[in-house]
Amino acid sequence: MSKKIVTIVGARPQFIKAAAVSREILKHPDRIEEIMVHTGQHYDPNMSQVFFDELEIPAPKYNLEVSGGGHGAMTGRMLEGIERILLDEKPDWVLIYGDTNSTLAGALAAAKLHIPVAHVEAGLRSFNMRMPEEVNRILADRVSTMLFCPTVAAVESLALEGITRGVHNVGDVMYDVALHYSDRARQASRILEKLGLTEKGFALATCHRAENTDDPLRLEEIIGALAEAARTLPVVLALHPRTRKLLRQFGLEHHLELLAVVNPLPFMDMVALEQAAAVILTDSGGVQKEAFFYGVPCITMRDETEWTETVESNWNVLVGADAGRIAAALDKVLTEKVKCAPVFPYGDGKAAEKILACLTGHPNSVI
């Protein structure tokens, strides 16, 4: 009997993760029907529509166009819109991804209507409750029936919280995506030529997390360190619209003069840059892993990470928002050969296949 799922997405990382599962769903139209709901959390075309096009994700049946405002207002408006859709569609499952406000709204709407929730990237913990993402992922896990973990560590974190039923270590859907698109991106993208860059001749940076952007002192340390690094190595900064706004508000825009600043990039261009960079500096969880997948050293401008395996492997270093630590880590990466631990913790590239098998009642066929 065919199952109907409603998939909730709203931000760039979720579009990428959903691509892997949606592509697998399309192979089995007799087993499962997917209804895609875009909350509108990322409203810029470069951060939403272009990803649906490039990643071959089915066009959303619904777009709630909810963006901007505080966490409570945004989540509440999403919750109201998702609830109406779930009452109309009557799905067998609601599928959520990651740790955004869209994730939490989807989880709460489904749980209150007694619709089973399946959470992709369950069990991740940074152990920093000041992060909105940490609150979202913990609450989403609490109400989920099926918890799809990307690593053994995520399974263990859930067990420590008393959650063992419905837990599956399927591997990381982001690795599925990396395997599928890495060669395509190298061949299709012309971003290096457009920006005048050479292979392994530049650094790639992103900065968007509220813990960094909303604190003028942290933001100045980060953007100042990137500007100083650009005196010796070209630094490409893919600048989130909200970060740009806050740089202007805090009077820090002058630091951008030394950087190669680009708007949020289409997926293929971003993957091409990630693979070609000598080093990546970021506060993004997804970009940390993509650096790991592509064998590029990563400097994470946060005090902690939910992707602890990348740090334990020696491929990622945490430096917080400290200009001195950022500079020291960058110097070390560029002058010493990084030795990566031989263990790969993120599965076999078949996470989407395993997720679909669980949702359709055939988990033993792949797990």
Distance in Å from the first CA to the final CA of the chain: 21
Distance CA 50, CA 28 (A): 25
- Give helix 267-276 / helix 285-293 axis angle, nearest 10°: 60
Sequence-distant (≥ 6) Cβ neighbours of residue 13 within 8 angstroms? 97, 98, 100, 284, 285, 286
* CA gap 97, 95 in Å, rounded: 7
Kindly give the interhelix angle for 132-143 and 101-112, rounded to the nearest 10 degrees.
Answer: 30
**339 neighbors 354 (Cβ within 8 angstroms):** no
Report the relative pairing of strands 167-169 and 298-300 from DSSP bridges: unpaired
In the set 168, 208, 240, 255, the catalytic residue is 208
Tokens standing for residue 7: 């998939």
User: From edge to edge, which strands make up the β-sheet containing 3-9?
Assistant: 62-63, 32-38, 3-9, 93-97, 117-120, 146-149, 167-169
In angstroms, the CA 150 to CA 238 distance is: 27
Q: Are strands 279-282 and 203-206 parallel, antiparallel or unpaired?
A: parallel
Tell me whether residue 362 is one of the annotated catalytic residues. Answer: no
Contact, 184 vs 253, CB < 8 A?
no
Which residues are designated catalytic? 208
